[in-house]
Amino acid sequence: MNKFDIAGIRKELKPDNVMLNIKDLYSVYLKKDNKEEPFKELTYFNMMDSEKKDLYLKNFKKVLSGAIDTKLFEIDFKNKENNDDSFSQNILYKALNSDDKENFKENLDNIVKKIADNFKYEGDIVINFARAEYFKPAKKVNEEADESKDDDAYTFKLILCSVNKVEFPKTVLKLDYLNKQFMANSSMDCIINMDSPIEGFMFPCFNDNSSDVNRVLYYSGKA
């Protein structure tokens, strides 16, 4: 993928955009100490409130940001000719094309398990997956003509993933507006850092206006 293709997808990550329609969003909380998953959420993206949508969209934009070969890397899958269902490429391909939400969730749970088995993070993490359909105009739009930019377009399915750090704030005094009282924050309170994903990926890559399922675009939060 070149920087223009990546930028083209990134700029379409905005609310209620028909050119990049996010359908399903799946988030998993993964603990460092015992690799348990205390919370999972599978939602239909368009059912979310606008503030929550914006948080996710900004998060996924980060995964498509940075210089190629510095923070973004196009990586080949190993064993890409193998039909073994345990390979990540095959798992992602099935998740991408699944018509059943439970099957979609089950395949992504297998990706989460692979992350848990190779856990390398300093603390708890939240993994976000988005399944979307991207429409890339096949030609430049003539703004003066009676022509819509989706009249002639290439269509791609994609999965975006981000891995995000979970942070536990220090104990502070806060105002509980609901109960009209001052109180200490709970030790169970946590913040998911959506502004700076640790890493992430997009599957598949796109080259010459076609999907390349043999490669993944990997994002590293650090150069």
Report which of residues 187 and 145 the model is more confident about. Answer: 187
> What pLDDT, in 10s, does the model give residues 59-81?
999 999 999 999 999 999 986 56
Residue 85 confidence class, pLDDT cut points 50, 70, 90: confident
Assess whether pLDDT exceeds 90 at residue 152.
Answer: no
Angle at 102 between CA 100 and CA 105, to 5 degrees: 110
At 62, which helix (H) or strand (E)? helix 50-63
At 207, which helix (H) or strand (E)? strand 205-207
Closest CA to 194 of 59, 61, 64: 59
pTM of the model: 0.87
- At residue 113, the pLDDT reads 96
> What pLDDT, in 10s, does the model give residues 103-124?
999 999 999 999 999 999 999 9
- CA distances, 96 to each of 63, 88, 122, 125, 222 (Å): 18, 12, 30, 23, 27
Average pLDDT, the chain: 89
- Strand partners for 132: 22, 158
Span 143-156, mean pLDDT? 64
Residue 28 confidence class, pLDDT cut points 50, 70, 90: very high
- At residue 159, the pLDDT reads 98
Name the burial class of residue 75, with classes exposed (0-12), middle (13-18) and buried (19+) by CB atoms within 10 angstroms of its CB: exposed
Residue 95 confidence class, pLDDT cut points 50, 70, 90: very high
> What pLDDT, in 10s, does the model give residues 162-186?
999 999 878 778 778 888 888 877 7
Assess whether pLDDT exceeds 60 at residue 144.
Answer: no
